[in-house]
Every structure is written in C-alpha cells, then in structure tokens.
Structure 1
Amino acid sequence: MSEDLKTIKELADEWGITKQTIQYHIKSLTNKNRQTNDKGVTVLSAIEQEFIRGKVDKQTNKNKTNEPTKKRQTDKQKEPNINQYLLNEIEEVKKNRDKQLAVKDKQIENKDIQIAQMQNLLDQQQRLALQDKKLLEEYKAENDSLKALKMPSEDAKEEQSSNRPKTELDSLKSEITALNDKIKGQEQANNQSSKKWYQFWK
C-alpha cells in the first residue's frame, strides 16, 4: 500500500497541474487527517488520488481523445470510486466511535467500582460508630458501678462509725482523761513554783 502513496508535488508533476490546485481539492476530502511519509511530507492514498483526479478532470474538462486506446482503458479502470472512498471513511468513523464508546464504558465501569468501594467504606464507618457508642455506654455503666462501690452513702458512713469497736473508743477516752490530768498537774506545779518565787522575794 505504501507504493500507492504520493506527495502533492509528485501528483502535480504527473497530472501537469499546480500544487495549489491539488491542495484546493484536498479540502473536499471527508477525512481531515492527512498521512505523512518518513520525511513528514503529506501523502495521498490511491483512493484519495482518484477522488482528486476526478475533481480536477471535471473542473478542467480535459479531453483525453488524443491518448492511446490502451491508456484510455486503463484510465477508465482507474476512474475514481467515490462510493468506495466514502464507505472507507464511514468505516473509519465507526471504528473511532466504537473506540470512544469502549473508553467511556471503561470509565463508567471504574466509576461504578469506586462508588461500590465508597459505599462499603461508609457502611464500615457506620458499623464502627455504632460499636464505639455501645462500648462507651458499657464503660459508662461500669464506671458508675465502680463509683457506687468506692463511695458509700452517708448512712453507710454513719453505720461504719457506729460499729467501731467499743474498746477502741474506751481507750481513746482514757487517753484523753490521762492527758487532761497531766495538764492539770503541770498547771498546779507551775502555780506552786510561782508562789515560791513570790514568797522568796518578799
């Protein structure tokens, strides 16, 4: 197929017309994407060449009666097959459309996967939140029960104080009495010594 590709200059020289004429007719092609050779020069396929040749012949009304019969027959066989060209273009458009649809389908599929993952994460988060709430309530109830054990009521405190061993209270009372006696004895001793000093000075 590559040998059928020709540049605009090659066609202009072959057909005896200007490059501008060919470039003008190139605008009539439905396929706007131009092929290039390894040098980056625009080239036309055989079908595109036939299409443009038909346009050129129609415009210039060239008379081919002076050409040999064989060449006329060959040219007749090479008459532009516009229908085939258009069919090829339509097929190319369909391929491109199918590719774009496949890409869109893949994107939609990826979006569906992402939505499913997000929904799953949301469900997990809600379950964890419920578990946290339940644990918090359990901890609170346990904490309240511990507080009730550690902090007895006022009635319990009074009961505990009234249940103290009587011997302990009696011993405390005797100690207090002994201390009071000791203090009184000390006061009396102090008073007597101050009286002695007072009499001594007299």
Structure 2
Amino acid sequence: MSENYKTIKELADELGVNKQNVQYHIKSLPNKERLKNEKGIILLTIDEQNFIRAKILKVSTDKVLADKVSTDKVLADKVSTDKVSTDKVSTDKVSTDKVLADKVSTDKENNFLIEKIKIQEEQIRDLKEQRRNGKEQLDIKDSQIAQMQNLLDQQQRLALQDKKLLEEYKAENDRLKVLKMPSKDKKENQSQEEVQTIKKQMEALNDKIKGQKQLNNQVSKKWYQFWK
C-alpha cells in the first residue's frame, strides 16, 4: 500500500482522536466516492487526509481556545472570589479591631467613672463625718452654755438671798440694839420673854446664813469644776 493512503484508523491514531470523529468529517468531503483496498477498507488520499486533518485540528484548536477561555474565566472568577473573600476578611478584621478598640475605650471610661464614684463616695463620707463631729461639738457647746446659764441663775438667786439675809440680819441687829439701849420711850419693865424670842430669831437667822454660805461654797465648786 502506498504511504500516500491511510485508513480511517491510521489517521485517527495519528491525530489522537477516535474513528467516529474522522468518519464525521469524511461526510464533509467534496468527493462522495471512497477509495477502498482489497479488504474493502476505506483509504484516504493525501488531499482527503489534509482536509480532515484541518477540520479536526481546527476543532481541537477551537476547543483548546474555548477551554482556555473557560479556564481563564474560572481563574478570573476564583481571583474575584478570593478578592471578595480577602476583602471580607479584611473588612471583618477592621470591624473586629474597631469593636476591640471600642471595648478598650469603653472599659477605660468605665474604670475612670468607677474611680470617680469611689472618690465622690469618700468625699461624701468625710463630709458626713465632719457634719457629725460639728454637730457633736455644737451639742457640747450648747450643753456648756446651758450649764453656765444655770450656774449664773443659781449664783444670782444666792446673791439675792444673801442680800435679803443681810438685810434681815441688819434689821434684827438694829432691833436688838434698840432693845438693849435705855430709852425714855421704852418701859424698863420690858418682859424677859420678848428678849428671849429675839435671841431665838437671831440664832435661826445665823443658822440660815450658815446654810446659805454652804450653798455658795457648793456653787463655787461647780464653777471650778466647769472651768477646770
């Protein structure tokens, strides 16, 4: 067999396709009559081989280009998806960082407010303590003033009593002198009983003056203890 002729299988093996692919393109040949060998196998001439080869190579090239375009599209979509995913991750990271920063800022503000509240509470406690101490001091001063006023009133009463007793004592003394002194207006036979009565009144007055002196001494001791 001449090397210029090839069977369908030989051409298919050469082009790396199956026999059906070659048979499909044989239908497009201008010459409808086929050359066959002694076994009835179709033989393809050089022109027929070149025609079918061009068809198959064009289809393969178109397929490769289409596959390449599809692959490029897939790659582009993947790059776009990866970019979207990367952008989302980046956005999520920025959002997370902002949330963390806000939380840190909020925690700092909360800590500052807590410390400020503690300081204010301590100041309030100090003011309350000062107010209690001031009230206690005022109560002590009021009590001291009241005691002093009582002592002054008591001293005034004692002074009035002393003055009254002295006046009574002076009057009794003057009366006694009058009784003892001889007088033309007085009767010499004045009864001894009247003299005794006057003496008793003088003794009672002396006892009263002694009691008043003791009371004055007690008041003086109170004044001493108050100012001590």
State the TM-score, normalizing by the size of structure 2. 0.41
Which structure: greater helix fraction? 2
Which protein shows a greater Rg?
2
